[in-house]
Amino acid sequence: MQSRTPASRTGRPRSAAADTAILAATRDALVELGWSKLTLGDVATRAGVAKTTLYRRWAGKPELVCDAVAELFDELELPDRGSLAADIEGVVLQFAAILARPEAKSGLMAVVAESTRDDALRERIRASIVERQMRLVLEGRARAQSRGELPAEPDPAESARTVDLIFDVVAGAVVHRTLVSGKPADEDWVHSFTRVLLLGLSGSSEQT
Amino acid sequence: MQSRTPASRTGRPRSAAADTAILAATRDALVELGWSKLTLGDVATRAGVAKTTLYRRWAGKPELVCDAVAELFDELELPDRGSLAADIEGVVLQFAAILARPEAKSGLMAVVAESTRDDALRERIRASIVERQMRLVLEGRARAQSRGELPAEPDPAESARTVDLIFDVVAGAVVHRTLVSGKPADEDWVHSFTRVLLLGLSGSSEQT
DNA sequence: AGCTTTCGCTACGACTCGTAGCGTAATGCC
DNA sequence: GGCATTACGCTACGAGTCGTAGCGAAAGCT
């Protein structure tokens, strides 16, 4: 998770149980206190470890919360539901369900806000949270292209731009709906959103 | 801006110059320090007012930053560019330009993150930031419908849902592109995004 | 055994928070 | 002009958090 220590094979190993306890305690604290009132001392107490242990593993609150929130997105999957529309609706509903949880609401936006002035944190978020979501987009798109539902794009650069666009639209819309508008991304909304997105993507690639 | 004092016509009036100085100092501090290292004492010093004056007008850091960031969105306009596509591209580029500024990056997401546990703050954001953006969507949509570029929706409830959807897609995509993906929403991106959005909206209203 | 690293614990200076108290300044009302 | 009322600047304060240093004990490897 944090810095690799390949050359250190001697000495007492770090407790793996402590890691999971700390991350779980962080999520509990996020639910009860929210980002701003969460303190590392409190998390250490909840996890049953010393505060110094926590500081030995994480540089600060943003890094800790980033890792704690990242685990929430482990459950994201993309089973083949037979059509691109069904695939999109399924994964968006999963994503919305995660974002509806209070620990995700409180933590995710705050960490992203911090990352605007911390390149290392931005990279950490990209690797541990964004990467996994992006992979679902890639997989779903490839599946749709093999079904013939989306046009193939031979140019890799153009293809990358399209994937980036899709990802920002999907993730951005769900996040904005949930956290800014403060309304649930329920089945009705997801259905309407998917219809708009599909129409937008399946259109011709003409450049105006 | 904050609490109305209609019944109080006696006593020394609050300095309007102090308000503008404080909000400007808040934006300066956001640029130099970012959200997490911004302190109200520092803002007061920058603005040339006493710390107690600041606390008499704002309840805390989130409310202050909310008002300071809200003024950034005052410059949003929606001139008639002749077509829905041109209108969307224009306003999205304006929105992206504002979000690219460091004071907006640092402050906006942090305030939204705080609002997930503070209903009063959420309402303040809605009234002072979201409301103005939403009005542009309503105006642009009405203009497009009068041009015949978008189908009219007689049902007000359905119409409200559509406007909400458009708003979350547009604002969410731009915010996600700028703050999460960390890439600029330049003309190329805005052009591609507009094409997808227009195709999605102009399609038939069939329910699958 | 001996070596190495981690862990729990305590204590610490530095900083920020938000408020109370007081004297002064600026307005409206009589 | 005088008076009541409110805002302002300033100082000081207790409370809380931060991140670190130092120590002895525990848990691995060779």
pLDDT in the model for residue A202:
82
CATH number at residue A82: 1.10.357.10
Q: Are A154 and B71 within 8 A, CB to CB?
A: no
**Which spans in chain B are helix H?**
16-37, 40-47, 51-57, 61-70, 84-100, 102-115, 119-125, 131-147, 156-175, 187-202
- Residue A204's pLDDT is 55
Measured to protein CB atoms, the chain C nucleotides within 7 Å are 3-11, 16-21, 25-29
pLDDT digits (tens, 9 = 90+) for B113-125: 999 999 999 999 9
Q: Does some domain include residue A50?
A: yes
> Binning pLDDT at 50, 70 and 90, where does residue B8 land?
low
Same domain assignment for residues A100 and A145:
yes
Range of the domain at A194: 69-202
Same domain, B40 and B99: no
Burial of A2 (0-12, 13-18, 19+ CB in 10 A): middle
Q: Is the CB of B37 under 7 A from strand D?
A: no
Residue A116 distance to chain B (closest CA, Å): 6
Which nucleotide lies closest to A60 by the C1' atom and the CA atom? D19
Same domain for A121 and A155, yes or no, is yes
- Biggest alpha carbon distance in chain A? 64
Task: Report how many domains make up chain A.
Answer: 2
User: What is the structure's pLDDT at A2?
Assistant: 39
Let me know if residue A2 belongs to a domain.
Answer: no
Per-residue pLDDT, A8 = 54
Region A155-182: mean pLDDT is 96
Q: Give the single-character DSSP code of B118.
A: -
Q: For residues A46 and A37, give the distance between their C-alpha atoms in angstroms, rounded to a whole number.
A: 14
Q: What residue in A sits closest to B198 (Cα-Cα)?
A: A200
Of A88, A196, A200, A192, the closest CA to residue A151 belongs to A200
Inform me whether the pLDDT recorded for A27 exceeds 90.
Answer: yes
B101 and B197 inside one domain: yes
Q: Is the pLDDT of residue A4 over 70?
A: no
Domain match, A97 and A174 both: yes
Helix (H) / strand (E) containing A96: helix A84-100
- Of A102, A81, A103, the C-alpha closest to A93 is A81
C1' of D25 to CA of B79 (Å): 73
Please tell me whether residues A36 and A111 are part of one structural domain: no
Residue closest to B199 by CA, chosen among A169, A204, A149, A140: A204
Do the domain assignments include residue A207? no
Residue A205: is its pLDDT beyond 90? no
Whether B62 is covered by a domain: the verdict is: no
Query: If we measure between CA atoms, which residue out of B170, B31, B193 comes closest to residue B100?
Result: B31
What average pLDDT does the segment B81-98 reach? 97
Residue B61 identity: K
Q: Are residues B75 and B52 in the same domain?
A: no
Q: Does residue B151 lie in a domain region?
A: yes
Domain-embedded: residue B184: yes
Taking only the tens place, the pLDDT of each residue in A55-95 is 999 999 999 999 999 999 999 999 999 999 999 999 999 99
Residue A147 has pLDDT above 70, yes or no: yes
Look at residue B44 and tell me if it is in a domain: yes
What is the CATH number for A30?
Answer: 1.10.10.60
User: Looking at residue B10, what is its pLDDT?
Assistant: 84
Are residue A98 and residue A185 in the same domain, yes or no? yes
Asked if the structure places residue B83 within a domain, the reply is yes
Contact call for B199 and A199, based on CB within 8 A: yes
* B104 and B36 within one domain: no
pLDDT, residue A62, reads 97
pLDDT of residue A108: 97
Domain check: are B164 and B77 in the same one?
yes
**Are residues A32 and A118 located together in one domain of the fold?**
no
Within this chain, do residues B83 and B37 fall inside the same structural domain, yes or no? no
Q: Nearest nt to B59, CA vs C1'?
A: C18
Give exposure, A40-67, as e/b (b: 16+ Cβ within 10 Å): bebbbebbebeeeebeebbeebbbbbbb
Q: Which pLDDT score, from 0 to 100, does residue A6 have?
A: 47
Mean per-residue pLDDT for B138-157? Answer: 94
The answer for B 71-110 residues in CB contact with A (under 8 A) is: 85, 102, 105-106, 108-110
